[in-house]
Structure formats: structure tokens, C-alpha cells
Amino acid sequence: MNTAGRIVRLAERDRAEVQFVLDGLMRSALAGDTVLTAMLASGHALRRSEFGPEPRAGFCLMGACQDCWIWQEEGPRLRACSTPVTEGMRLCTTAPENWP
Amino acid sequence: MSEVSPRRIVIVGAGPAGIRAAAMLVEARLHPIVIDEGHRAGGQIYRRPPAGFVRTPEQLYGSEAAKARALHALFDRLVEQGLLTHCAGSSVIAVHGGRLHVLGESGVQVISYDRLILATGASDRVAPVPGWQNAGVYSLGAAQIGLKAQGVALGRRIVLIGSGPLLTLVGAQLVKAGADVAAVLDTSSWRQQMGGFSGLAARPVVALRGLALRARLGRRYHAGVTLERIEADEHGVVALHWRDAGGRQQQTPCDMVGMGWHLRAETHLADLAGCTFTYDEQWQQWLPKTDEMGRAGNGVYLAGDGVRLLGADGAEVAGRLAAAACLADLGYQPPSAGADLRKLARVERFARGLARAFPWPAAMVRALPDEAIVCRCESVTAAAVREGTDFGGSEANRVKSLSRVGMGRCQGRYCQLAAVELVAAQAGCEPDAVGRFRGQAPVRPAPIGAFLRED
């Protein structure tokens, strides 16, 4: 399969690469990917549920369900389905350690 | 027109309804503000990929490519010529006293309006299936957005479940794009689907196109299924358990499930703007009340799937009608609405046929096991909703405050209809007697920092 993660790239594969950091590791995505696409090309989940044991990987992809809010190393969260990935982004699947 | 003072008209949503409404206002030499969550105008069904993607509209939208192309070109031209103001990537999070609170990249700004046209569209109407909280379960709309806007399938082996035109369409689109679609499972039986036939005859070409798409699914498609549960391991979905129309137990290995039962109107802003709602028996949900043109009163107009689930063609017509109503109320002479009203009536006959053919799975929801999750946001179970009903009675908002169902970050968009169904079953009444969750601002999560100003 063509990605190491959950998603399969079926089209639009001829795009420039973008490097970003996920949980401290360098990962690559394609320019034009959303953060959700970029993360799920490298892994199987975006975050863990706050109310249950299961991992979450988004649900609606149109900014309505709010399932895909993830952390950035510097603090503010972002909605992965509606935020384009950019070069050098530092993303986490869990809350930063210094989060109160 | 010189006697009419320029008024500020704000349109929320840049899908087919919002674009057509904007164009009609521009023709009358008004300059609307169009606020849209998308980075590029088009809405969901005519959603455009980011800049730099190369597939053509024909590849992206199939038989609807010409309509998509026309809408995109029209909107882009109005923006380029400076005839409207486009606030892209922006969410209206509150409506109060003629003012909109708009969350964009630079924080929250307040935009006041004299007239407001809401063209907020719809999202998937989903029903809980035990296990649906697991990673790898998505809405059908999500599967389509992944494919159209990102060129991806959201799993290696896909099962689609639910009912409605999107079930067939997404299945056919994924198969065509080369995804591995293991099964497409429709909870509507052939008999129920035939029950919508008289309405579907109002648009025979569209109905035949749907059947042709269905044919592409071949043996993957099963009607009249019973969904039992989604099995998952610690990484996410591994199989779907279901029974076929003959009652035989089936298990389909998969790592992604797409689900949806037709659509649910996005009505939060209409609610905050003070619109009244009625329960629609055919679409089986609460919808805001308007006149035939889309007037909701108090200077608010509604158009598109956010008020009646007519699909993209109906939304274009409804957008024009809402703008015409707005113009007439401002003292302008809009073009005659007769032809558009007749077209809308025909589209509505068809859409109501669809609603009969692909109904909400009320019995499935009522039979949910106690431990099943109803609210994905906060993992509220069916048992909690039933206990809340026993304790506090059958009013929707009371059950909401007792059980927290509908209080999560999606604000009940994806659990409200199922929760109300469960309450009705527990209390022995009809869903419309349970009522609906009150909309609350902000309708999207907003960071506290967005409200802070440096000055």
C-alpha cells in the first residue's frame, strides 16, 4: 500500500513533499494535504478519546463534528480536517506535558 | 433604484444556494458579504480541492461537472470584479441582535446585517451503530470529501452503511477511483425503496442516473440489511457484523466504515436567529419554517439544504428565490419567481420520494443495546439517555442536561436525532413530542484567545 498509515492515496500523488513533525518524529506529507490527511498518511489515529479508551481518527471531515482537534507542540489546538499542513508544523496526538 | 439606500446583506454559506443568492443580489447592484467556512467557494457537493490539484471537474463531479464549473466560475468572477466581499475560512459562531460573530484566522469580528440569508447546507444524518466511536468510522460525506478534496480513501478496505442517495453515489465514486469497497449495505429494503417511486418519477433522469450508479456497485450492494455492530481492536475498525435481508449472519472484514442515512439540515444559526421550527414527518427531523420564497421573518431568509433537503439543484433555485424575496422586501423589483417556484415544487416532489425510499432507521436506533455509545463526543451511552428519560421525563433539553447527550463539542449535530428517538421509545411517545435541543452559541468551538483584543 502507498502510505504507512490509515489512508490510501488514489489520485493527486504528484505534489511537492512537505516535512512536518509528529510526536517528535519527522514525517512527510504532500503540499495541499490537510493536517488530517498528513497525520493519517503516517499513522492510524489523530488523538485519543477523552471519554473512552479508543483512538479517534476524525469523522465528518467538514468541520462539523469537531472530532479531529489535535495538539501542536507550542500549545494551541487545531481542527485537523480544515487546516492545511505546512512545512515544519509540530503536531502531537496527545496533550503537551506542560498542559495544566 | 436610487431611492433605496444601500443595505448590508450577509449570506452565510458559499454552496449552490449561497452563490446563486449572491449573484442575484449583485445583479440588483447590491454588494453582499458572503461568509463561508470553506477556503474556496463551492460548498460540500461541489467542493473544490486545494490549489495545485489537477483532476478536472468531470473527474471530480461526474454528471454534475457542468453545474459545478458554472457555479465556481460565477463566484470567482464576482469576487475578481469586486462585486461581493468573500470571507473565506470563516465560521459564524453566534447571531444576536442583527449582528454576527465571525471566527476567522485573525480572531472574532462582529459583522452587522440588515438582511441575513442563511445557506448553511446539511451534513450526514447518522445513527449510532454499536462500535461507531472507533477510529476508522466516518460519515459518508467524509468519505466523499476525502476522495474529492484530497484524492484519498480513508481506509484500505471499506464498508459503507446507511441509506440514501449518498450511499450509492459515494460507493460508486470510490469504486471508480480504485478504492477497495467490500460492501455497500442499505438498511432500506427494496419494498421501502419502491414506496418512494411515485416521487422519484418527478425527475426520471436523476432517478435513472442513481440506478446506473447502483449497477456499478454490482454484488457489493445489499438492500434491507440489519446492522449489528462494528468490531474494533486497539487501532480501530476490523469488521462489520450484519444480517442480510434473509436474516443470515454476515461478517465483513474492513478497516473503514462510512455511514449515513440521507441528510440532516444544518440549522444552528437559523435557531440562534430566532426562526421557528416544525417537525417534518417525511424528512423525520425539525426544520425551520419559511414561506415558499424562504422568508423566515425578522429580515432572515433561508435557502438550500439547511431548510429543505432538496439537494444541489434545489439549492440553486432556493438561493435565487431567497435573494428575490430579500430584494422585494427592500423595495427592489426582482425577476419573476414563477418558473423557479414551479421548478422547486418538482424538485421537492422528488426529494420527498427519496425521503420515503430511504428512511431514518428508527427501529434500529430504538433497539440499541444499553452499552452502545449515542454521543461520540462524550461517550454518552443509550443507557444514560434512557435513565435520563426515566428520571426527568421526555423533554429533549431536560434529558440533555441530565445525561449530557448533545452537550459535547459537536453540539448534538450527530446524536440529536438518535437521542430523541431513544427518549421517545423510552417514554412511549413520538419523536416530535420530545422536541429538539436548543441551539447555543458559539456553534463552533472557539479559542478564548480569539475573543481577546490587544487594544
φ and ψ at B63, to 5 degrees? Answer: -65, -15
- Contact with chain A for residue B58, Cβ under 8 A: no
Q: ipTM of this predicted complex?
A: 0.97
Nearest C-alpha of chain B: how many angstroms from A2? 10
Question: Which pLDDT band holds residue B4 (cuts at 50, 70, 90)?
Answer: very low
Q: Could you tell me the three cell numbers for B309?
A: 433537503
Q: Is the pLDDT of residue A28 over 90?
A: yes
pLDDT in tens, B211-226: 999 999 999 999 999 9
Cα–Cα distances (Å) from B240 to B130, B180, B281, in that order, read: 10, 15, 31
Which tens digit of pLDDT belongs to each residue from B263-313? Answer: 999 999 999 999 999 999 999 999 999 999 999 999 999 999 999 999 999
Residues in B touching A31 (Cβ below 8 Å): 52
- Mean pLDDT estimate for chain B: 95
pLDDT for B455 equals: 54
pLDDT at site B71? 98
Interface of B with A in 106-145 (CB under 8 A): 123-124, 133-139, 141-142, 145
Domains of chain B with bracketed CATH: 9-123+264-353 (3.50.50.60), 126-261 (3.50.50.60), 364-434 (1.10.10.1100)
Question: In this complex, which of A1, A34, A52 lies closest to B133 when CB atoms are compared?
Answer: A52
- Taking the C-alpha atoms of residue B45 and residue A55, their distance in angstroms, rounded to an integer, is 29
pLDDT of residue B454: 57
CA-based nearest distance A28→chain B, Å: 15
Q: How far is B5 from chain A (nearest CA, A)?
A: 37
Residue A56 touches chain B, beta carbons under 8 Å: yes
Whether chain B has a CB inside 8 Å of the CB on A17: the answer is no
Is the confidence at residue B5, as pLDDT, over 60?
Answer: no
**What average pLDDT does the segment B30-37 reach?**
97
Q: What is the pLDDT at residue B105?
A: 86
Instruction: List the single residue in B52, B135, B410 with the smallest CB-CB distance to A45.
Output: B135
**Burial of B218 by CB count in 10 Å (0-12 exposed, 13-18 middle, 19+ buried)?**
exposed
Give yes or no for residue B236 having a pLDDT over 90.
Answer: yes
> How close B390 gets to chain A, by Cα (Å)?
24
pLDDT exceeds cutoff 50 at B26: yes
Residues of A in contact with B154 (CB under 8 A): 6-7, 40, 57
Give the architecture-level CATH label for domain A17-92: Roll (3.10)
Q: What is the pLDDT of residue A100?
A: 63
Whether the upstream peptide bond of residue B442 has omega within 30° of 0, thus cis, is: yes
Q: Does B179 touch chain A (CB under 8 A)?
A: yes
**How far does A45 lie from chain B, in Å, by closest CA?**
7
Distance, in angstroms, between B306 CA and closest chain A CA? Answer: 14
Residue B1 pLDDT = 38
What pLDDT score was predicted for residue A96? 79
Predicted pLDDT of residue A76: 85
The answer to whether residue A12 neighbours chain B at the CB level (below 8 Å) is yes
Query: Shortest CB distance from B154 goes to which of A6, A11, A45?
Result: A6
Report residue B188 as a C-alpha cell.
Answer: 432500506
Query: What are φ and ψ of residue A8, in 5° steps?
Result: -120, 125
Element of type H or E holding B321: helix B311-329
- The answer to whether A4 faces chain B, any CB pair under 8 Å, is no
Confidence band of B453 (pLDDT split at 50, 70, 90): low
Is B44 an interface residue toward A (CB < 8 Å)? yes
Nearest CB among A6, A9, A49 relative to B379 is that of A49
- pLDDT tier, B379 (very low <50, low <70, confident <90, very high otherwise): very high
Across the interface, do B142 and A45 touch by the CB < 8 Å criterion?
Answer: no
d(CA B336, CA B344): 14
What is the average pLDDT across B422-442? Answer: 95
B332 to chain A, closest Cα gap in Å: 36
Q: Which has the minimum average pLDDT: B16-20, B208-212, B253-257, B366-370? A: B208-212
CA distance B371 to chain A (A): 12
d(CA A94, CA A4): 20
B269 in Cβ contact with B255 (< 8 Å): no
Closest to B156 (Cα-Cα) out of B175, B179, B140: B179
- Check A54 against B135: CB less than 8 A apart: yes
User: Which cell goes with B59?
Assistant: 473527474
Which is more confidently placed, B227 or B52?
Answer: B227
Question: What is the pLDDT averaged over residues B239-261?
Answer: 98
Q: Quick check: B137 and A59 in contact, CB under 8 A?
A: yes
Average the pLDDT over B253-268 and give the result.
97
- Are B395 and B420 contacting, i.e. CB atoms less than 8 angstroms apart? no
pLDDT for residue B103: 96
- Chain A CB contacts of B413 under 8 Å are 64-65
For B321-340, what is each residue's pLDDT tens digit? 999 999 999 999 999 999 99
Beta carbons of A51 and B379 less than 8 Å apart:
yes
Residues of chain B numbered 354-373 and touching chain A (CB < 8 Å): 373
Q: Which of A36, A61, A79 to mutate to test the interface with B (most CBs of B within 10 A)?
A: A61
- Cα radius of gyration (chain A): 13
Listed by start position, the domains of chain A span 17-92
pLDDT at B3: 40
Residues 259-318 of B with CB under 8 A from A: 266
For residues B8-34, average pLDDT: 97
- Mutual angle of helices B65-80 and B16-27, in 10-degree steps: 50
- Tell whether A37 lies on the interface with B, counting CB pairs under 8 A: yes
**Predicted confidence (pLDDT) at residue A52 exceeds the cutoff of 70:** yes
Euclidean distance between CA atoms B276 and B278, whole angstroms: 7
Query: Which positions in chain A touch B39 (Cβ < 8 Å)?
Result: 84
Q: Which residue of A has its CA nearest to B144?
A: A61
Q: How many beta carbons lie within 10 A of that of residue B249, not counting itself?
A: 10
pTM: 0.96
To test the contact with chain A by mutation, choose from B58, B61, B140, B150 the residue with the greatest count of A C-beta atoms within 10 A, namely B150
pLDDT score, position B13 = 98
B255 contact A CB<8A: yes
